[in-house]
Amino acid sequence: MPLAFAPFNAYWVAPLSLGLAALLWRRIPLSQALLRGWLFGLGMFGGGVHWVYFSLHDYGQASPVVAGLLTLLLVGYLAVYPALVAAGMAWARSLTAAPSLILLLPALWTLTEWLREWVLTGFPWLALGYSQSDSVLAGWAPLLGVHGLCLLTAVLAGALALGVRGPMLARSLALSLALLILISGHLLKEREWTRASPSKFSVALIQGNIEQDLKWRPEWRRRTLDRYVSLTFDSEPTDLVVWPETALPFYMDQLGAFGPELSARLLRRGSLLLTGAPTQVDGRVYNSLVALGAADGAYNKRHLVPFGEFIPMRGVLNVFSEYVQIPMSDFGRGEPQQPGFKLGSVRIGASICYEIIFPGLIRRSLPQSNVLVNVSNDAWFGNSLAPHQHLQIARLRAMESERYVLRGTNNGISAIIDATGAVLARTPQFEAHALIGQWIPRTGATPYVRWGATPSLLLALGMLLAALLSGRRKPSVRV
């Protein structure tokens, strides 16, 4: 299954992998199905999110044993969700092949993925829909979002399984359903739900490439600032300049007199700078994106990373901080609704780091926002799969909203993503770079922006109910 996601992008593997797994989960005892589903999850998430180990060990200074145990704990927890799907199919093993594979499998997978987005603050990484960012199913993204892509991918998985093990009539129906989904996805790719502005804007995404183990050292503060300033002002002037998450590894108010000086230089160029930096407000510390130059204001990160940016249940779990040393790991949570930024009449929707993996959070700034900006510090991930997966997730947000996504990172992958999810330009990884390009504001709302995940979840619930009703036996009548 991990091969279906970036950087491998073998999207056809997703329905094939899930379809084969579904054949192994049907008509077996419940306990055996739980085990098989959990083992499937271990393979999926062990292969797909093993980079958590590098974040904990290489940059969090955790010992190999502690980092390994915590990574296994996370993977083991995530594997519970495929186990629940397998158990549900085994519990309903009296169902015939068609309702089990075409209705029950997609419904259960979609609903458990939605739960994974919320339980324990949520971690929807490797949600099945992301694997289809380059397939014809992506045409459905503006209508149904990533949850709908998950549902449709799982329907294709069930159709494949039915084609292998089902009766002839069911095979024909499964093939017809799969073709209908694929053809409609292709046709929907030609449909635009929003409108492009006649004006274009320029952007400079500044990638400082500051090594994570140097980033927070006091002696590196001035060198870090000098690098971002030189990369910015040695490049051509642009309307918007984006520095990544915590590009300034010190509190914003510690800029002192250099802050007004930097703003004045930006104003002379007609530029708005958005920079990541920690901020202090009323005794609370926030992971923020701050505006300088052509506008002012700040955005405070709303969805924090457990253990990385705050310690949940601190009274019980504070021992975690004794084994993993993560700088600035006690941030406050930003307000749910924040005004964002303005560049003239253009509104900018902001998000920081892995906030981009929560589609409902991004939706809150839409359709008012004409462009989306996401900043991140993917240096935590090292040379792993994670930066590529992160970029793929950002592309889905562009498809769902039909908005440009401007993604600025510390060491890659920074990218300009258009309203169809296509990457127009990107930086090389692990190099200091100024990526210059253009973007177009858009107005209007896609069906997904209007309705969110509700249609997909209602469809999944309806399919679940239909599957269960199809398995009800008529009572025998004694004469």
Please choose, from the candidates 108, 97, 153, the residue with its C-alpha nearest in 3D space to the C-alpha of residue 128.
153
- Any idea which residues carry the catalytic annotation? 245, 301, 353
List phi, psi (to 5°) of 143.
-90, -50
Radius of gyration for the alpha carbons in the chain, expressed in angstroms and rounded:
24
Bridge partners (DSSP) of residue 256 are: none
Question: Tokens representing 41?
Answer: 């999850």
Residue-by-residue pLDDT tens, the chain, 479 positions: 999 999 999 999 999 999 999 999 988 999 999 999 999 999 999 999 999 998 888 877 788 998 899 999 999 999 999 999 999 999 998 888 889 999 999 999 999 999 999 999 999 999 999 999 999 999 999 999 999 999 999 999 999 999 887 788 888 888 899 999 999 999 999 999 999 999 999 999 999 999 887 888 888 889 999 999 999 999 999 999 999 999 998 898 888 889 999 999 999 999 999 999 999 988 889 999 999 998 889 999 998 887 666 665 455 455 555 556 556 557 889 999 998 899 999 999 999 999 999 999 999 999 999 999 999 999 888 899 999 999 999 999 999 999 999 999 999 899 999 999 999 999 999 999 999 999 999 999 999 999 999 999 999 999 999 999 987 644 443 33
Residues 289 and 252: their CA atoms lie apart, in Å, by 10
What is the predicted pLDDT for the residue at 339?
A: 87
CATH number, domain 195-444, options 3.30.450.190, 3.40.50.1860, 3.30.310.50, 3.60.110.10: 3.60.110.10
What is the predicted pLDDT for the residue at 389?
A: 98
What is the predicted pLDDT for the residue at 328?
A: 56
- CB 28 within 8 Å of CB 88: no
DSSP 357: G
Q: Where are the domains of the chain?
A: 2-192+452-470, 195-444
Helices and strands counted in the chain (H then E): 18, 14
- 302 CA to centre of own chain: 15
Q: Is 437 helix (H, G, I), strand (E, B) or coil?
A: strand
- 155 CA to centre of own chain: 22
Question: Tokens representing 261?
Answer: 């000086």
What is the predicted pLDDT for the residue at 479?
A: 34
Please list, in sequence order, all residues whose beta carbon lies within 8 angstroms of the beta carbon of residue 322, skipping any fewer than 6 positions away.
Answer: none
Please choose, from the candidates 131, 40, 31, the residue with its C-alpha nearest in 3D space to the C-alpha of residue 82.
40
Neighbours of 430 (CB within 10 A): 15
Residue 280 backbone class (left: φ over 0; alpha: ψ -120 to 50; beta: rest):
beta
What is the predicted pLDDT for the residue at 143?
A: 98
Question: Tokens representing 332?
Answer: 């406050």
DSSP string, 168-197: HHHHHHHHHHHHHHHHHHHHHTT---SEE-
Residue type, 345: S
Residues shown for the chain: 479
What is the predicted pLDDT for the residue at 311?
A: 60
